[in-house]
Amino acid sequence: MEKSEGEAMSERVRSISFLASEAPGATEAANRLKALYGQEDPNQAEVVVALGGDGFMLHILHRFMNSSIPIYGMNRGTIGFLMNEYREEGLRERLAAAVENWIHPLSMTAEDEHGEIREALAINEVSIFRQSYQAARLEIRVDGKLRLEELVCDGVMVATPTGSTAYNLSAQGPIIPIEAPLLALTPVSPFRPRRWRGALLPNHQTVEIVTLEAHKRPVNAVADAQEVKSVRRVTIRESMSDRCRILFDEEHSWDERILAEQFRY
């Protein structure tokens, strides 16, 4: 007997690993899904299904960076912009039909007040924040050329297309389609120059942010969830040697989410 298209598709995804956040709803969902579809070692699975919110999804993407294992998120958290809708039925078919995107993270190199160098990767954004009640004073260079001699602000960030709908959007930064070769450089509460709203940069360019009056106006640098305190200089570029795979349902792909987000009012 000839197999249906759904049966043929489901056979293409045989081994799944379910990883859940600590939220009760996520762990309960993982237990139900494991009973339905089995549980593979995450390092041997064809697909890893992450159950939680966007923060947990970022954690899983970092964990499986450069492994080539595709990550499919199902929302058991709050916002879930990186996640697909939670449904228990027909999961193998959904995974087989999912749209795949490769994500290149940002590489952050930060020098702290003691001259120690710290490196980290960021899938969403690298952010610089003031550490005290005083506004930060920052100098910004792009590919070595001075672009802003002084930015007085609460902070500034460099966001990837993936991160453009996260904190970047809350700071009035632009939304970037996932395939666009661009990065968003977005200020947080700029005081001087007051009307500067940021810039879109080609993703091959390097951004260097220097802290002015570092002792008087200390700032921290954050690459996703990794923080470096009291930084003097931060260099940010897209890493072409690091990447991770993310899957979205075909009817609700990343491109569709980006387009829909731009028409929200």
Numbered residues of the known binding site: 54-55, 59, 124-125, 154, 165-170, 226
The Cα–Cα gap between 240 and 243 comes to 7
Q: What is the DSSP letter of 219?
A: E
The per-residue b/e assignment along 69-108, b for 16 or more CB within 10 angstroms, e otherwise, is bbbbbbbbbeebbbbbeeeeeebbbbbbbbeebebbbbbb
Phi, psi angle pair for 152, to nearest 5°: -100, 120
54 is catalytic: yes
Question: Could you give the angle at the alpha carbon of 37 between the alpha carbons of 9 and 23, nearest 5°?
Answer: 120
Query: Which residue, 44, 46, 42, 52, is CA-closest to 18?
Result: 42
Length reported for the chain: 265
- List binding-site positions for NAD(+): 54-55, 59, 124-125, 154, 165-170, 226
The active-site residue out of 41, 54, 242, 255 is 54
Instruction: Please count the other Cβ atoms lying within 10 Å of the Cβ belonging to residue 28.
Output: 13
In what order do the strands lie in the sheet containing 136-142? Answer: 117-122, 106-112, 231-238, 207-212, 136-142, 145-153
Q: Is the dihedral of CA 260, 126, 203, 248 positive or negative?
A: negative
Which residues are designated catalytic?
A: 54
